[in-house]
Amino acid sequence: MTELTVPPLAEDSFREHYRHLILASLARQAEVRSVEERGNGHRLRAARAEREAARLRAATGVAADPAVASRRFGRELRSSIRMVWIAALALLAVDIVAFGIDSWTTTVADVGLIALTVVWFWIAAEDLVGPPGPEPAQLELFS
């Protein structure tokens, strides 16, 4: 009786293809988890899922998901604007105590805090809106 054997080249090709499918599936799952966590307001969990997806994408040799890769503002800018805003709030509180609420310096500190708030929300709006996706298909009822 003749025994059928698989050539080593085909076996390695199958294993590599199967490995690629599994890693790509895990990477996509991590990207979906990142979007869900960001939607729930869990920034740290979302960042961890994004790092995991990037690591898995690097292992498969596939480019990152456009939703994750198209971020205009990095984590450093997000945390630094938050720290500057907290410092400006502390400065406003100290200014009110030192010079009173009717001082011109309090007005300047207040306007600066409002400007920083606008910048902070402009940077954080990317998490709410996300990158542009494909247009939804139109449903034609009478065609």
Domain limits, the chain = 8-70, 72-128
Mean pLDDT of 83-105: 93
What percent of the chain lies above the pLDDT cut of 90? 24
- φ/ψ (deg, to 5) at 14: -65, -45
100: CB partners within 8 A, 6+ apart: 106
pTM beyond 0.95, yes or no = no
**Between 57 and 13, where is the model more confident?**
57
> E strands, the chain, where?
none
Q: Go through the chain and tell me how many residues it has.
A: 143
139 vs 142, more confident: 142
- pLDDT tens-place string over residues 55-82: 888 877 765 555 555 556 666 787 888 8
Instruction: Please tell me the distance from the alpha carbon of residue 45 to that of residue 33, in angstroms, as a whole number.
Output: 9
Quote the CA–CA distance of 46 and 37 in Å, as a whole number: 5
